Structures are given as structure tokens and as C-alpha cells.
């Protein structure tokens, strides 16, 4: 007993939640992670933007030279030289912008693919309880929108923040050649505007984050309603759901309005500063010209650069506000998706080696959250090749037993072994490769019937798929469809009846040819004739395989080697059908109630 407790403590310590990858710990590390993956791409983009913006500033200076050459003594050669340089700079600037756009397209789209795959990879490592707590539509929307937010962030930095920065530095250099006091005034003025806008934008960050959260939640709720449209119609809930969505949309609109109007306030503040700053710089330049301290070309250059810098500073300041908003979207996604995975493989975990499919539960206990144990100190041994039925009232722990065996959750105490190997110490994928599961509620992909059956074993031939379908008693109805095996089943298989979906699920499990078969109410939606046919197929397929079948219809288990009766998370009876009937316990009571057409749960 002490050895078992010691092992349980070790297992509990070993199965703590996995560490969160560093790049998922916040928007900053997340963004830097993907930039570091393509350093040369971003370096090339940076150089192109630097060159293009530099050419744009140089154009303003050449324009000054051109104006001065035309305003002074006639010198056609100087004028044509200035004009040639002017046109050459414009051409080079245009080429550099186009190259930067091409590089930006390839880089941003490529990173978007990597980002979505990485987020999906982390997401599919979460336990099933996580997906029960989060709407599928909301999760999908977050994964997609995060890639879009990163792309928008990249575009903002590359094309709306970097060029004004280069313009500003270039303008300071050029203004120094005109009047150093102008350079200082421009630097202080633009710097003050930028700092003020950044502070103002940061104060509104919570508004953008709230809007991101509301948008993702509403998107998930809308998908949830659409995917459950049958229930909406069946319960005359169309107006009720419309009104509920209207309330959600209004809440989202309120958050969006607050975020949007805060940005408009930033624009208003900047426009006021623009009028004051631009007016002051132009008046100063005209004053210096009137005193013959600067040339007409200098006035033209100062006016052009002043408006360019101030408009650029407005774009940059508002872009910084937008960047805060994009950070908010990414932060919201990471808050939901970047949760530590609770079911993780040990470092260097070996694959499961199946030798027959013997299963053993050793002192297993598990509870969902703060609820009482769903299974409690469960001890169970199933030899390889044995067919075992699992029965019991609702809430007895049957489904939990099945889920723990698939390692959809990790046990909290004890251990589960297959062929002597702890399932917690082997690779999850290798464990599930050894299991063929038919759940009560079959969900299919929005793909063809052929693809859905072959999903169990992608390398299977068409002949093997047809054989599995015949064994599951679904080949005939599939061939009667207009497209046969190429028929698209619809979202979650909604184009098919419950019985048809269940038979395809059984065919999928048959095709997998795994050493352990798990049937969770696998024939509950079938008619009697189909059930009998599939039972005959099961008898053939179950030879030399370990089978665990959860069933409420006890007659389906009459041919099994052994029946396990669960109640309150424990095994209360164990033995063949005839022995349990003779015992007169819980199983016998359930059998008699079913024979009388009553449900045990109603009488218990």
C-alpha cells in the first residue's frame, strides 16, 4: 500500500501542467519570436524602407536646388541637372517601395501561416475540458485574427511608422543647413507631439483590449447559434436568439464605439497641434526670407518638409494607437489560447509498445474541478483479448473511465497501464494509435464519406474502406446516395441521420484495426436489424482484441466475457452475465427493469 501511495505521489508530481513556451508568454515575446525566424527578410525590408524614405527627403532638398537655380541667373545646365536628379530620385524611391511591398507580402503571409499552425499545435494539446469551456468558433476566430493582427502590426510599423521616422531625421539634418534654431524647434515640437500622443494612446489601451475580447466572444456565440440551428428552430427560439444576439452585438458595438472615438480624439488633438506647429514654422521661414537670410528655395523646402513631417507625425502617432489596438487583439488571444497544457508528454517519452492490449487501473482517482471524485481508487485488470462490458447508472464514472484510458485527462492519483506500460509515460499519439474509439455522439468532418472513414487510417486502400463499411452495415446506404462515397456529409455530419453517422463511426473504428476497441454506446442510435448485423461483425473483429464497451442496453453485452458494474466511481460488481444475474445485485435489478421497459435511472 505504501509503495502504491508513493507511486501515486510521483505520478501526480510528474503530471503537473506543462511549461508555457516562452514565445506565448505575452505579445512582445510572441512578436519577437516570429521576427527572429526571418531576420534577413526584415533586414531587407528595413533597408528598402530606409532607402525609399531617404529618397523622399532628398527630393525635397533637390526641389530647393531646382527652385533656386530657376530663381537666380539663367543657368539651364544647372536647372536640367537638378531636374534629372529629381526624377531619378523619384524613380528609385518608387522601385524601393515596390520591392519592400513584395518582400512584406511574402514575409507577412508566410509568418501568418506559421503563426496559425503554432497556435493550433498548442491548442490541440489542451484537454477536452478546455474545449468544453471555450466556444470552438471563438477559438477559431482568435487563431485567425491573431495572424491578421500581426500582419496589420507589421504593415503599420513598416509603412506608417518607419517612413515618418526617416523623414524626421532627414528633415532635422536639412533644417540644420538652413537655420539650426529651426532644427531645434522642429525636433522639440514633433517630439512633444509624439510623446503626448503615445501617452494618450496608452491610456486608451484597455478600451481596445475590451473591444477585442467582446469581438471574439460575439464571433464565437454567433457560430455556436448557427451550428445549433436545429435546436433554435425546434424550440421556436428564433426571436429569442435574435434578441440575445442583439444584446451581444450592442455590447460589442459599445466597446467598438469607445475604442473608435478614443482614436478620433487622438486625431483631433493632433490636428490642433498641426495647425499651431505648421503655421509657426511657415511664418518663421517667411520672416527669414524677408530679411534675405534664406532663399526662396529654402522657403519652399521648409514648407514642404514641415507639412510632410507633421502629417507623417500624425500618421505615426495614430499608427502607434493602432499598434496598441493590435497588441490588444494579440494579448486577448494569448490570454485565452496560451494556457499551460495539462496533458503533456514527458521529455523523451517512448512510444507505446502493444503486445496484446492488457489494461490495468491501479488505485485510480479523478475529479473534475472541485466536484467529488468521478472515479475513486479504481482497481481493474482486463487481460489481453478479453471483451468487457461496462454498465451502471448515469454519473457512475463510465465515461470518465473511458476518457482516462484515452488520456484525454491525466489521472490525479494512481496509474493506468497498457501491456505493463504507464500511459502517462508514453507518447500520447502512440497511445491513441492503439485505441479504436466509437463514441455515442459521432461527429464527422465536413468532407466526403470516404475521407471520414479513411480518417482512421489515411494509408488504407479503397478496398479496405469498402470492407470496413460493409462490416459496419453502411455500404448499402452510402451507395444509394447520389454521390456515393464522394458525398459531402455537411458540418458535423448533419446531412446524415444519427444512425447513419453512428455506422460510419463504427466503420472508421473497424478500419483502424487497433488492438484495443472502445465502444461508448456505439449502437444506441441503430435499429434492431442493423444492431444485430453489427454485433455479428463485432464478434468477428473482436477476436484477439481487447474490447471495452459502455452500454445502457444490457442485452448488447450478453455475449461478452465479463461485465463490470460501476456506481459512485467504483466497481461494485464484476463477472459474466449469468453470474451477475444469479447474484441478484445491481446488475440484475437493471436487467429486470429494462426487461419491463423502465429506465434504471428513473427507479434508482
The DSSP line for 242-280 is HHHHHHHHHHHHHHHHHHHHHHHHHHHHHHHHHHHHHHH
Q: Name the range with the highest mean pLDDT among 9-23, 321-335, 430-444.
A: 430-444
pLDDT digits (tens, 9 = 90+) for 192-248: 777 777 777 677 777 877 887 788 778 778 877 877 776 777 777 788 888 888 888
Please compute the mean of the pLDDT values over residues 446-469 and round it to a whole number. 90
Sheet holding 359-367, edge to edge: 373-382, 359-367, 413-418, 421-422
Among 44-53, 301-310, 326-335, 431-440, which stretch is predicted with the lowest mean pLDDT?
A: 301-310
Bridge partners, residue 518, by sequence: 437, 548
CB-hemisphere CA count at 13 Å for 219? 16
Residues 440-449 have pLDDT tens digits of 778 888 889 9
pLDDT at position 421 is 92
- Residue found by looking up cell 470496413 in the block: 468
Helix/strand/coil percentages in the chain, nearest 5: 65, 10, 25
Q: pLDDT tier at 18 (50, 70, 90 boundaries)?
A: low
Judged against a pLDDT cut of 60, whether residue 511 lies above it is answered with yes
What distance in Å separates the CA atoms of residue 507 and residue 505, rounded to the nearest whole number? 5
CB atoms within 10 A of CB 149: 25
The predicted structure's pLDDT at residue 334: 83
pTM of this prediction exceeds 0.75 = no
Mean pLDDT, range 145-174, rounded to an integer: 82
Q: What percent of the chain stands above pLDDT 70?
A: 88
Average pLDDT over residues 572-584: 89
Query: What pLDDT is attached to residue 17?
Result: 52
Dihedral sign, Cα of residue 440, residue 443, residue 448, residue 454: negative
Specify the pLDDT at position 525. Answer: 58
Q: How confident is the model at residue 564 (pLDDT cuts 50, 70, 90)?
A: very high
Cα–Cα distance, 251 to 484 (Å, whole number): 46
**pLDDT of 2:** 43
In the chain, what are the domains? 21-337 (1.20.1560.10), 443-513 (3.40.50.300)
- Angle between helix axes 162-178 and 39-71 (nearest 10 degrees) is 30
- Alpha helices in 434-497, H assignment, sequence order: 449-454, 462-471, 475-480
Task: Name the more confident of 69 and 244.
Answer: 244
pLDDT-based confidence at residue 252 (cuts at 50, 70, 90): confident
Q: Is pLDDT at 475 greater than 70 in this prediction?
A: yes
State residue 527's pLDDT score. 65
pLDDT at position 466 is 92
What distance in Å separates the CA atoms of residue 54 and residue 583, rounded to the nearest whole number?
Answer: 92
- Please check the confidence at residue 403 and state whether its pLDDT lies above 80: yes
- Determine the pLDDT at residue 95: 92
Decide: 211 and 263 in contact? Cβ < 8 Å. no
> Which pairing describes strands 359-367 and 373-382: parallel, antiparallel, or unpaired?
antiparallel
Nearest alpha-carbon partner for 353 in 437, 405, 425, 403: 425
Whole-number Å distance between alpha carbons of 151 and 115: 11
Q: How confident is the model at residue 383 (pLDDT cuts 50, 70, 90)?
A: very high
Q: Beta 421-422 vs 570-575: how paired, if at all?
A: unpaired
Residue 5 scores a pLDDT above 50: no
DSSP, collapsed to helix, strand or coil, labels residue 328 as helix
Which of 283-287, 322-326, 358-362, 579-583 shows the highest mean pLDDT? 358-362
pLDDT, residue 450, reads: 92
> What's the pLDDT at 317?
67
Query: Does residue 539 register a pLDDT over 80?
Result: no
Report the percent of the chain where pLDDT is more than 90.
Answer: 10
From 345-354, 514-523, 538-547, the region with the lowest mean pLDDT: 538-547
Q: Which of 295-309, 366-380, 562-576 has the lowest mean pLDDT?
A: 295-309
* Higher pLDDT among residues 133 and 537, named by residue: 133
Per-residue pLDDT at 426 exceeds 80 = yes
Which pairing describes strands 387-391 and 373-382: parallel, antiparallel, or unpaired? Answer: unpaired
| Alpha carbon distances (Å) from 326 to 165, 203, 465 | 20, 15, 47
pLDDT score recorded for residue 535: 67
Most confident stretch, 175-189, 223-237, 360-374, 419-433: 419-433
Higher pLDDT, 384 or 498: 384
Distance CA 435, CA 509 (A): 9
The per-residue pLDDT for 418 is 93
**Distance, CA of 540 to CA of 23 (rounded, Å):** 51
Q: Which range has the top average pLDDT, 26-35, 74-83, 288-297, 449-458? A: 449-458
Mean residue pLDDT of the chain comes to: 80
Arithmetic mean of pLDDT, 540-552: 79
How would residue 75 be classed by pLDDT, with cut points 50, 70 and 90?
low
Residue 604 predicted with pLDDT over 60: no
Which pLDDT does position 531 carry in this prediction?
66
Per-residue cell: 140 = 477559431
Please tell me the least confidently modeled range out of 453-467, 505-519, 561-575, 583-597.
583-597
- Res 528: pLDDT: 63
Cell numbers for 485, please give them: 462515397
Confidence at 565, pLDDT banded by 50, 70, 90: very high
Say if CB 600 and CB 564 are below 8 A apart: no
Please state the rounded mean pLDDT for residues 86-109: 88
Residues 6+ apart with CB under 8 A from 321: 197, 200, 201, 204, 262, 263, 266
Amino acid at each position: 500500500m505504501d509503495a502504491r501511495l508513493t507511486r501515486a505521489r510521483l505520478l501526480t508530481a510528474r503530471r503537473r501542467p506543462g511549461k508555457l513556451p516562452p514565445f506565448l508568454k505575452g505579445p512582445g515575446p510572441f512578436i519577437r519570436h516570429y521576427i527572429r525566424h526571418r531576420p534577413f527578410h526584415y533586414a531587407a525590408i528595413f533597408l528598402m524602407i530606409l532607402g525609399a524614405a531617404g529618397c523622399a527627403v532628398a527630393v525635397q532638398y533637390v526641389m530647393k536646388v531646382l527652385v533656386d537655380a530657376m530663381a537666380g541667373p539663367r543657368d539651364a545646365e544647372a536647372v536640367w541637372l537638378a531636374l534629372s536628379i529629381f526624377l531619378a530620385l523619384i524613380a528609385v524611391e518608387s522601385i524601393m517601395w515596390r520591392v519592400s511591398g513584395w518582400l512584406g507580402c511574402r514575409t507577412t503571409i508566410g509568418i501568418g501561416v506559421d503563426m496559425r499552425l503554432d497556435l493550433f499545435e498548442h491548442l490541440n494539446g489542451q484537454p477536452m475540458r478546455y474545449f468544453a469551456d471555450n466556444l470552438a468558433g471563438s477559438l477559431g476566430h482568435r487563431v485567425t485574427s491573431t495572424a491578421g493582427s500581426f500582419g496589420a502590426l507589421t504593415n503599420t510599423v513598416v509603412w506608417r511608422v518607419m517612413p515618418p521616422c526617416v523623414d524626421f531625421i532627414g528633415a532635422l539634418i536639412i533644417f540644420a543647413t538652413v537655420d539650426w534654431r529651426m532644427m531645434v524647434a522642429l525636433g522639440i515640437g514633433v517630439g512633444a507631439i509624439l510623446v503626448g500622443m503615445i501617452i494618450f494612446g496608452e491610456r486608451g489601451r484597455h478600451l481596445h483590449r475590451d473591444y477585442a475580447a467582446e469581438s471574439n466572444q460575439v464571433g464565437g456565440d454567433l457560430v455556436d447559434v448557427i451550428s445549433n440551428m436545429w435546436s433554435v428552430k425546434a424550440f421556436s427560439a428564433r426571436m429569442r436568439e435574435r434578441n440575445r444576439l442583439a444584446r451581444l452585438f450592442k455590447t460589442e458595438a459599445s466597446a467598438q464605439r469607445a475604442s473608435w472615438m478614443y482614436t478620433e480624439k487622438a486625431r483631433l488633438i493632433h490636428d490642433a497641434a498641426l495647425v499651431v506647429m505648421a503655421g509657426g514654422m511657415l511664418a518663421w521661414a517667411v520672416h527669414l526670407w524677408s530679411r534675405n537670410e534664406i532663399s526662396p528655395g529654402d522657403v519652399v523646402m521648409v514648407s514642404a518638409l514641415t507639412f510632410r513631417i507633421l502629417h507623417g507625425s500624425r500618421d505615426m502617432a495614430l499608427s502607434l494607437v493602432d499598434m496598441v489596438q493590435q497588441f490588444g487583439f494579440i494579448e486577448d488571444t494569448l490570454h485565452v489560447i496560451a494556457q499551460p497544457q495539462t496533458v503533456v508528454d514527458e521529455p523523451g517519452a517512448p512510444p507505446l509498445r502493444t503486445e496484446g492490449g492488457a489494461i490495468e487501473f491501479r488505485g485510480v482517482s479523478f475529479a473534475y474541478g472541485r466536484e467529488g471524485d468521478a472515479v475513486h481508487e479504481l482497481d481493474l485488470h482486463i487481460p489481453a483479448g478479453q471483451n468487457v462490458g461496462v454498465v451502471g447508472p448515469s454519473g457512475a464514472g463510465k465515461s470518465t473511465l473511458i476518457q482516462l484510458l484515452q488520456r484525454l485527462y491525466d489521472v490525479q492519483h494512481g496509474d493506468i497501464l497498457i501491456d505493463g506500460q504507464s500511459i502517462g509515460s508514453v507518447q500520447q499519439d502512440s497511445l491513441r494509435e492503439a485505441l479504436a474509439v466509437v463514441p455515442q455522439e459521432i461527429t464527422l468532418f465536413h468532407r466526403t464519406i470516404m475521407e471520414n472513414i479513411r480518417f482512421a487510417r489515411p494509408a488504407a486502400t479503397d478496398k479496405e474502406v469498402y470492407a470496413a463499411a460493409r462490416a459496419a452495415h453502411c455500404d448499402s446506404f452510402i451507395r444509394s446516395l447520389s454521390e456515393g462515397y464522394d458525398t459531402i456529409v455537411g458540418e458535423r455530419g448533419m446531412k446524415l441521420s444519427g444512425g447513419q453517422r453512428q455506422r460510419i463511426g463504427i466503420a472508421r473504428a473497424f478500419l483502424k484495426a487497433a488492438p484495443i476497441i472502445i465502444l461508448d454506446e456505439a449502437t444506441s442510435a441503430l435499429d434492431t436489424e442493423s444492431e444485430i448485423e453489427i454485433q455479428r461483425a463485432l464478434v468477428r473483429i473482436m477476436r484477439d482484441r481487447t474490447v471495452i464497451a459502455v452500454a445502457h442496453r444490457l442485452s448488447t453485452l450478453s455475449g461478452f466475457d465479463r461485465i463490470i458494474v460501476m456506481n459512485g466511481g467504483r466497481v461494485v460488481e464484476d463477472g459474466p452475465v449469468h453470474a451477475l444475474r444469479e447474484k441478484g445485485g445491481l446488475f440484475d435489478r437493471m436487467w429486470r427493469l429494462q426487461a419491463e421497459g423502465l429506465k434504471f435511472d428513473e427507479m434508482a
